[in-house]
């Protein structure tokens, strides 16, 4: 498996946008694949957030994860987030998500980011507990009950 930034594979945002739309956004009334594409097209940074990390296997795009800025508006003081962790169903259970998350954490450390946050519908923390995230709280956010977690990167 190969990990890379969207900056290295700039047209991949289109495929990732379709994944994100189908997985999380197709029921949002004013959301379109085009809007998701427009957002992700700006994630081509190499030296700062936001950025998109990609996973490929044998030349095929199989997963993605984002280093985001201010994901949840109810936490205005929480600046940097991991989000959009997605792995194609054919590649799940192979550790791809864990490797993507670790790669985003490593990028954040390079940028001098001291703390990362995330939200997950896995109330037990899922893979995030295994890579150093701890629970802050459970909240109902826009109709979804999620765990909000943090990791200290210092």
Residues 138-148 have pLDDT tens digits of 999 988 899 99
* Whole-number Å distance between alpha carbons of 90 and 96: 11
Architecture of domain 2-152: 3-Layer(aba) Sandwich (3.40)
pLDDT in tens, the chain (154 residues): 999 999 999 999 999 999 999 998 888 788 989 999 999 999 999 999 999 999 999 999 999 999 999 999 999 999 999 999 999 999 999 999 999 999 999 999 999 999 999 999 998 988 999 999 999 999 999 888 999 999 999 9
Domain ranges of the chain: 2-152
- Full-model pTM: 0.94
């Amino acid at each position: 498996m190969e990990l890379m930034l969207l900056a290295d594979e700039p047209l991949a945002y289109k495929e990732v946008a379709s994944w994100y739309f189908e997985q999380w956004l197709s029921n949002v009334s004013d959301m379109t694949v085009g809007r998701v594409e427009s957002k992700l097209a700006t994630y081509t940074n190499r030296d700062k957030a936001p950025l998109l990390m990609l996973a490929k296997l044998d030349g095929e795009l199989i997963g993605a994860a984002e280093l985001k800025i201010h994901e949840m508006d109810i936490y205005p003081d929480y600046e940097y987030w991991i989000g959009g962790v997605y792995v194609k169903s054919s590649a799940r259970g192979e550790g791809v998500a864990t490797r993507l998350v670790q790669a985003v954490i490593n990028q954040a450390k390079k940028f001098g980011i001291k703390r990362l946050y995330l939200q997950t519908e896995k109330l037990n923390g899922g893979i995030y507990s295994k890579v150093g995230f701890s629970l802050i709280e459970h909240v109902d956010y826009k109709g979804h009950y999620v765990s909000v977690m943090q990791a200290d990167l210092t």
